[in-house]
Amino acid sequence: MKTFLDFEKEVRTGKLRNVYFILSADNYFINAASELLREKLFGSKDNRENFFIKYADDISLQELSDLTNNYSSLFASNKIIILKRCEKYSRKLNELLDFLKTPEPDTTLLVCFEKDYVFEKKLDKEKEIVFYDFSELPDKDLREWIRNQFKKFGNEITDVAIEYIIETFPGSFDILNSEIKKITSYDPESKKSIDKEMLIKFTGYETDYTPNDLMRAILRNDSLKAVQILDNLIHKTGLNEIYLVSIISNHYFDLLSFKSGKLNGNNSYSLYGKYKIWGERINFAKEYCNVLKINEINRALMLLLDSDKKLKTSMLNSDILLTSLVEELCSL
C-alpha cells in the first residue's frame, strides 16, 4: 500500500489526483498533505481561501456535492476539501463511492477513513480505489523521518537513540512530533548530538533503572535488583506510586493478551489503535509472555489490584507496601 511518502512524491512531480483515499490515525500527515496541496495548487501553503476541512458526521453527501460545485474564488478556481471520519458515511458508503467516481475537475478531495474500518469493509481490496496509508511508515522510512525531524531543529541523533524513541513513545506521529519538539528544547546548552542517555534523562529515568528494567528484574526473579530499581524510581525519579502500579499492571495485561496468541499477527498500528500497546511494551510482551503461566499472571494482577486499593485507601507506608509487592511478584 502507498504511504505519505508516495503521496508527497506524486504531488511534487505534478501527478495529481482529484480524489485521494486516506487511511488516517492522527492529523500529522493529513496536515502535511494539506500544505503540499495548497503549495502546489494555490502557490502558497499559507493560502487557505479555497481550502475546507469537513467531518462526515457534520456534512451530508448533498452538502458535500454542493461544496465541490460552489465557493470558487475570484483568484483561483481550484478547491481542496479534507473530509475526515468518512466511516461515518457507513450506511451511505456506496453512495459516497459513486459520487467520488465523477469528481469536479477543479476539486481535490482527501477522503480520510479509519484504518480498521477500511480493512473490516475490505475497501482496500477494491480495484478502483487506491489508498494512501497515513498511519505509519515502513521501518526504514520511520527512522529517516525521525532523523529529519531532529535536523529541522539543528540536532543530529544517534541510531541507538532513534531505536529508543520508537520503543518509548506510541505510534502516533502527532505525539512523536510533539515529543521531538520537547526534546530539542529540553536543554538549549546541551550538545547538538542527541543520544540515548539524554533521552533517558528527558523521560526522567536513569539508565538501567526504568519501569521496563523493573519488570525484567521481577520476571527474572531477581528481587535484589528489582528492589534497587524500585527505590530509584520512587525516591530519585519521583515516580508516583499509584502510577507505577498502573505501569506494572499494564505489563501483566500485555503478557496475558500476547499469551493467547491472538495479537501475534497484528501490526503496530492496530496494537496502538486498539490496545494502546506500543514500542518496548510490544517487544517485552512477546519476549516474556511464556515465562509465566496464566494462573501466575492472574495472581500478579490480584496482588497489584490489592496494592492499588491499599495505596488509595489506607495509611500504610507506601515504601513497605511496594517493596512487599515487588518481592511477592518476584516469587511467582
322 phi, psi to nearest 5 deg = -75, -35
Query: What domains lie within the chain, and their CATH numbers?
Result: 2-133 (3.40.50.300), 139-203 (1.10.8.60), 211-330 (1.20.272.10)
The rounded distance, in Å, linking the Cα atoms of 283 and 314 is 36
pLDDT at 187 (0 to 100): 58
What's the gap between Cα 86 and its chain centre? 20
Q: Enumerate the β-bridge partners of residue 52.
A: 81
Cα gap 181→202, rounded to integer Å: 12
CA–CA separation, 117 and 60 (whole Å): 20
Q: What pLDDT score does 267 carry?
A: 60
Q: What pLDDT was estimated at residue 274? A: 63
Backbone φ, ψ for residue 312 (5° rounding): -85, -25
Dihedral sign of CA atoms 309, 312, 315, 316 in order:
positive
Query: Which residues are paired to 81 by β-bridges?
Result: 52, 109
Cα atoms in the Cβ-side hemisphere of radius 13 Å centred on 146: 27
Q: How many of the other CB atoms lie within 10 Å of CB of 259?
A: 18
pLDDT at 264: 64
| pLDDT value of residue 212 | 85
DSSP 142-209: HHHHHHHHHHHTT-EE-HHHHHHHHHHS-S-HHHHHHHHHHHHTT-TTS-SEE-HHHHHHHHT--TT-
Which amino acid is residue 171, in one-letter code? G
Task: From residue 230, give the alpha-carbon distance in Å to each of 283, 302, 332.
Answer: 22, 20, 18
Q: Please, which residues bridge with residue 2 across strands?
A: 132
Question: What was the pLDDT predicted at 282?
Answer: 76
Q: Quick one: pLDDT at residue 154? A: 85
Q: pTM of the full predicted structure?
A: 0.66
Q: Which residues of the chain are modeled with pLDDT < 70?
A: 70-76, 170-171, 186-191, 203-207, 262, 264-280
The pLDDT score that the predictor gives to residue 224 is: 93
